[in-house]
Amino acid sequence: MAKARKEIIIVGLMLLLVIALIGVSYAAFRFTGVGQKVNTITTGSITMEYTESSNTISLTGALPTTDKTGKKRLNPGEYFDFTVSSTIVGNVNINYEISAKEVGEGTIDGKYIKLYLTRIKEDGTEEELMTPEVYNEENTSNDYTGRPNGEMSLYTSSMSSSESNTYRLRMYVDESYNPQGDGGGLQFSVKVNVYGKDGDKYVPLTTQEILEDNEVQEEKTSMFNYASNGVQYDPNDEDDGMTDPNPEYAISGIFASEDEDGVSYYYRGNVNNNNVQFGEYTSDYYVYQDSEGLYYQSLESCQETAWQSDSCTQVKLANAGDKMYWKIIRVNGDGSLRLIYNGTSTNSDSSDLAHSYAVGVVPYNLNYNDPKYAGYTYDNGTDSFIKKEVDTWYNNVLGNSSYDSKVIGGRFCSDSSGLKEETDYGFPDMGEFKLFASYDRLGQSMTNYTKNNEPSFICPSTNESYGGSYRLKAGLITADELVYAGESLGVTGNSYLNPDANGDMNYYWTMTPAGFDSGGAYVGIEYDGLCNDNVDSDSAVRPVINVTTDNGFTSGDGTASNPYVIS
């Protein structure tokens, strides 16, 4: 009898909520929401409920559009809201997944249809849960949530306590579609499902392998006041501005800290077991070098700096078949891996661009005389120069390959909060310099040692029209992540993120605003330790991506000689 009851409960906990039928047709675009107003699955102490909003999506005469426009549509009929809530009593966890499935026979190819999902927060603002993605069905199922194969995964999460989340779905025709000559009346429809199962919170096999290979250490009090080699900045030291190493804080290994999605496990110090091989260059890849030795991802971006528009020459960055290597920064709270580019070998150096960990050397922004130019985007969505470079590299290399399906729209933070008015900091000859909140919490020496350094994986909210929190396929590392990894302001560190000091490529941009003064806006950089530089200066571009896989590593132990491999 007990066995029969167990089987009934397991079946009951498998949840499938058919949320909506959404259709889109060119020339007479029509989106319709179909479904019961409330769809409830109850079993024992768990209740999950879907509630559809009163609005339906109904567009007429819509045309192909850009992501920038498609992501912001809020006119009646241009979006669809729905709520997934739970009532949970006891120690129970539900893994759930929102997915989309094409229905009917679409007469427009799904590669031109983009879906975009956000969560509506309590203050009415939207949190991006996935970057705009073309319709693409998964070829494997998810045993943790119950999603079958043959559907497009939009978002995966878990519930372990009673909560309610309201989501907003948009769907539109991508700007790449050319409607000329199609005859009109083209259609594409999807139904949107929510699947859920009880069980332990989903932990990818990659995460399990990393935690099996490494003992998670406890953070020490005040350990972020020091670099991972035990050194601290000392403005009174006339030799090199640094204290002698403190053995107590010379720490390397894996540690844990909270991020927006749960517990994040991060690497710190001079570790060498966080190497990953993922992706490859499918053809010879060239960048464009200007007369000043900067390297751009396109001829257009090289020529955009007008004083050198006629001096741009092609330089080969990689050969067809070259493998890409990465360093694991951390395991994110959602189980995905956060990787930073490390070149075409595990032993990159700084002798030249092709042998380095970088894909280019450019200014962060071409304008500098306003704090907004420290943002990864500014003016409510205008891309910084470096964002365009990162996006171009990703789209050219990984975005057009099968590897793109493993790269998720991960969280990225350009913390533009809390621009301070104070001007007296520990660095001599600094002059008037207004700090952003990031460098206020990361730079003891810049706040006269009045408080401990406190890095964070949680992106602070900002009211500025620049910077903020993003979901991106590729971005840059943050200054907070450098400090977690063992770098420190004003100190020559020894972490795995501190590149070879010999050569011209031994520095690279973060996406963290640092400050502003009469000389312009400043952004954090890695330069033998945490530092900052004016946005119109040049530093290397080192992309960061977030990768997820249910299949674990195919081989390797993370060392330079035997890196983890993600196929």
Residue 85, strand partner residues: 49, 164
> In degrees rounded to 5, what are phi and psi of residue 480?
-60, -40
pLDDT score for 307: 66
User: Which residues contact residue 295 at a Cβ distance below 8 angstroms, ignoring those fewer than 6 apart?
Assistant: 287, 288, 289, 315, 317, 353, 360, 361, 362
269 in Cβ contact with 219 (< 8 Å): no
- Apex CA 27: angle with CA 22 and CA 28, to 5°? 50
Q: Give the whole-angstrom CA distance, residue 364 versus residue 18.
A: 45
546 in Cβ contact with 474 (< 8 Å): no
In 199-333, DSSP assigns E strands to: 216-217, 253-259, 262-268, 275-280, 285-289, 295-296, 313-318, 323-331
* CA distances to 419, 438, 440, 459 from 462, in Å: 10, 12, 15, 9
Dig out the tokens for 327 from the structure. 């360093």
Name the 3-class secondary structure at 480. Answer: helix
- In terms of Cα–Cα distance, which of 145, 174, 173, 140 is closest to 159? 145
- Secondary structure tally for the chain: helices H, strands E: 7, 32
- Residue ranges of alpha helices (H) inside 415-532 are 437-442, 479-485
User: Which residues contact residue 119 at a Cβ distance below 8 angstroms, ignoring those fewer than 6 apart?
Assistant: 126, 127, 129, 165, 166, 167, 168
- What pTM did the predictor assign? 0.83
SS (H, E, C) 12-34: HHCEEEEEEEEEEECCCCCCCCC
Write the burial class of residue 119 (CB in 10 Å: 0-12 exposed, 13-18 middle, 19+ buried). middle
Q: Give the whole-angstrom CA distance, residue 81 versus residue 117.
A: 10
Residues in the chain, total: 567
SS (H, E, C) 41-56: EEECCEEEEEEECCCC
Q: Give the whole-angstrom CA distance, residue 4 versus residue 65.
A: 54
pLDDT score for 32: 34
- In terms of Cα–Cα distance, which of 435, 431, 297 is closest to 362? 297
524 in Cβ contact with 512 (< 8 Å): yes
| Residue-by-residue pLDDT tens, the chain, 567 positions | 333 322 222 233 344 555 455 554 433 333 333 333 344 444 445 565 656 555 444 434 457 889 989 998 887 767 888 888 777 777 777 888 888 888 777 678 888 889 999 999 888 888 888 889 899 898 888 888 888 999 999 998 888 778 888 899 888 888 988 888 777 777 777 777 888 887 777 788 898 899 999 999 999 999 999 999 999 988 887 788 889 999 999 999 999 999 998 899 999 999 999 999 999 999 999 999 998 889 999 999 999 885 656 789 999 999 999 999 999 999 999 889 999 999 999 988 877 888 899 999 999 999 999 999 999 999 988 999 999 999 999 999 999 898 998 999 999 999 999 987 655 444 444 457 788 999 889 988 777 788 899 999 999 999 999 999 999 999 999 999 999 999 999 898 899 998 765 555 679 999 999 999 888 899 999 988 899 999 999 999 999 999 987 778 999 999 999 999 998
Annotate 248-274 with DSSP letters as a single string.
GG---EEEEEEETTEEEEEEESS----
